[in-house]
């Protein structure tokens, strides 16, 4: 107990937090959705702040190009192709051994979000795609959970904290003054743009300092939520054009009242309900496709599979995944298989292509 008081002393001195706020943080659960650039910063700051339980979910593994901005990872993680959730957990446990850190190597989808977010006091966005953001938003609105959205691409960043409208009994719905519910993500961004039309950090790059700024705003909002400082939440859409020195906040209160949001006004949660049979997702801008075979059967058979795949190219296996580089005619593909049955096929942005590569080398 004494060590905890020392550890968080400079934080519990803050008027908005105090000893009581510090205890509330210790009793809290935060869900980090995706542990790329934004997620790394959020996870590290919340771990250092003493949030009692951090749940990190990420579907990907560490690569060399991540190290420029994904602060929890190092060259060894990339060389070993460690899943990001695992590498993050290992690093964070060295930073703060007094908290619980859960790592989930998985993608977030409508079948598992309830399990991942069910007991979370706040959802923190470290996602790399809009579809999962709509899903997180559906979840947040349907369950009355705060969701700290953040995004950074190129030198432009955004942030907004969704404090969903409920039936009037949520802690941010209590008074008509500063403390009030906000529009949801879908009120602000109505429709998903066609695939491939929005820039991603893989096509136009991303400034590392921008990421730390956006994530720091998200963490600040999360700390306010977790310590019960609901009236202090920002409630504006933060817009940062960092290279052009332009930082502004957009008032968006009218977006709920004046809009006709299917999610928070009509409580129609189409992303949460999911679609059956959608087993392939193109990883935007990455020249890669994720497959989720209906009947994954290679889990636990990595060693056998590795022997077979070595006849086509280089194969590495660790306790979490198998990675194979295969030359298929003039093309080269990188096949990554996870223990949960997922596969990421790199070298194509066509779902059909990825399926046929998977069928050819892994099995159908
Ligand atoms: Zn809405």
Q: Say if CB 286 and CB 335 are below 8 A apart.
A: no
Residue 103 CA, ligand 1 centroid: distance in Å: 30
Residue 265 CA, ligand 1 centroid: distance in Å: 6
What's the pLDDT band for 188 if we cut at 50, 70, 90? very high
pLDDT exceeds 70 at position 193: no
Q: Say if CB 223 and CB 161 are below 8 A apart.
A: no
What's the pLDDT band for 252 if we cut at 50, 70, 90? very high
Please choose, from the candidates 157, 36, 38, the residue with its C-alpha nearest in 3D space to the C-alpha of residue 87. Answer: 36
pLDDT exceeds 80 at position 258: yes
pTM here is: 0.85
Pairing of β 315-317 and β 29-33: unpaired
Residue 45 CA, ligand 1 centroid: distance in Å: 29
**Average pLDDT estimate for 90-117:** 96
Q: Say if CB 259 and CB 165 are below 8 A apart.
A: no
Going across the sheet that includes 122-125, the strands are 100-105, 53-58, 29-33, 122-125, 147-153, 156-162, 236-241, 246-251
Query: Comparing 137-141, 271-275, 306-310, which segment has the lowest mean pLDDT?
Result: 271-275
Residue 263 CA, ligand 1 centroid: distance in Å: 5
Q: Which residue has the tokens 């956006």?
A: 214
Which of 201, 261, 263, 284 does the annotation list as catalytic?
201
Residue 187 CA, ligand 1 centroid: distance in Å: 4
The whole-angstrom separation of Cα 161 and Cα 218 is 8
Can 201 be counted among the known catalytic residues?
yes
What's the pLDDT band for 80 if we cut at 50, 70, 90? very high
Taking only the tens place, the pLDDT of each residue in 312-331 is: 889 988 888 899 999 888 88
Residue 318 CA, ligand 1 centroid: distance in Å: 43
């Amino acid at each position: 107990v004494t060590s905890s008081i020392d550890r968080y002393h400079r934080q519990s001195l803050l008027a908005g937090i105090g000893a009581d706020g510090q205890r509330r943080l210790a009793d809290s659960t935060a869900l980090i959705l995706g542990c790329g650039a934004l997620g790394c910063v959020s996870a590290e700051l919340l771990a250092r702040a003493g949030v009692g339980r951090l749940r990190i979910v990420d579907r990907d593994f560490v690569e060399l190009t991540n190290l420029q901005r994904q602060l929890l990872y190092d060259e060894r993680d990339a060389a070993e192709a460690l899943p990001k959730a695992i590498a993050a957990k290992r690093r964070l446990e060295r930073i703060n051994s007094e908290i619980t850190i859960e790592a989930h190597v998985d993608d977030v989808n409508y079948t598992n979000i309830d399990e991942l977010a069910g007991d979370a006091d706040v959802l923190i966005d470290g996602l790399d795609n809009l579809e999962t953001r709509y899903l997180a938003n559906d979840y947040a609105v349907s369950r009355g959970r705060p969701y700290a959205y953040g995004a950074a691409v190129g030198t432009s960043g955004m942030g907004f904290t969704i404090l969903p409208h409920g039936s009037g009994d949520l802690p941010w719905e209590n008074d008509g003054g500063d403390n009030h519910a906000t529009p949801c993500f879908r009120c602000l961004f109505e429709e998903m743009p066609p695939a491939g039309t929005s820039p991603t950090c893989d096509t136009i790059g991303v400034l590392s300092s921008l990421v730390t700024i956006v994530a720091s705003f998200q963490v600040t909002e999360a700390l306010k939520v977790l310590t019960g400082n609901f009236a202090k939440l920002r409630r504006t859409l933060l817009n940062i054009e960092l290279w052009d020195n332009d930082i502004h906040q957009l008032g968006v209160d009218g977006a709920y009242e004046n809009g006709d949001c299917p999610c928070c006004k009509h409580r129609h949660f189409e992303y949460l309900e999911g679609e059956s049979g959608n087993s392939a997702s193109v990883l935007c801008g990455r020249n890669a496709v994720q497959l989720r075979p209906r009947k994954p059967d290679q889990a636990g058979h990595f060693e056998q599979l590795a022997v077979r795949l070595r006849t086509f190219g280089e194969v590495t296996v660790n306790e979490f995944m198998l990675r194979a580089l295969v030359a298929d005619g003039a093309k080269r593909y990188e096949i990554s298989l996870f223990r949960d049955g997922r596969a990421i096929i790199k070298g194509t942005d066509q779902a059909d292509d990825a399926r046929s590569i998977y069928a050819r080398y892994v099995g159908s």
